[in-house]
Amino acid sequence: MTSRRSLLAGGIGLGVAWAVTGAYGLSWPAHAAAPGNGAVAHTDAQWRTMLTPAQYDVLRQAGTEMPFSSPLDHLFAAGRYDCAACDNHLFAASTKFDSGTGWPSFFEPLPHGVAQVSDGSLGMQRTEIRCARCDSHLGHVFNDGPRPTGLRYCMNGVALRFVPSGQAPQAKGVEKQT
């Protein structure tokens, strides 16, 4: 039988682990899904050469950037947010809002931009958001967003690339989605 003391100790341990990973920018192991669920697949070595260390940690290892560290958090210009790994179109800038959480937040993704995956890490049930094309980790979705959807797609800024209206993204060697 589980005692209240062991439950409390386990909860405190989980809380400390959560705080340490966030405070030091550490990440939990990458998602366990089969690689390459999207249309773009690279080896781990290829991803490491294509991405910055911070991008690799978030996009390929399901890490989390520090809150309030992304310049995209308070950017509200017209345009679109694409996947930093493969340029897949993810969010229209018109769906972005200031959630006050320290991460870029959106209330709706573009069609075929993202995929949802159940995430039971850290002792809680969440919905992870990945790029539908390259299966990269982007963030999570929560049910506390604004109208019209009531959703908050809480994304890591390092996982996104902002493309201003009227400007094409830099080519990454993959076919662009229309």
The Cα 90–Cα 154 span in angstroms is: 13
Q: CA 175: distance to chain centroid?
A: 22
Q: In the structure encoding, which two tokens stand for residue 103, read together?
A: 């991460």
Contact 117, 31 (CB under 8 A): yes
* Active-site residue, selected from the candidate residues 83, 131, 134, 154: 154
Q: In the structure encoding, which two tokens stand for residue 117, read together?
A: 């995956």
154 given a catalytic annotation: yes
Which residues sit opposite 109 in a β-bridge? none
Which residues sit opposite 161 in a β-bridge? 82
Active-site annotation, residues: 154
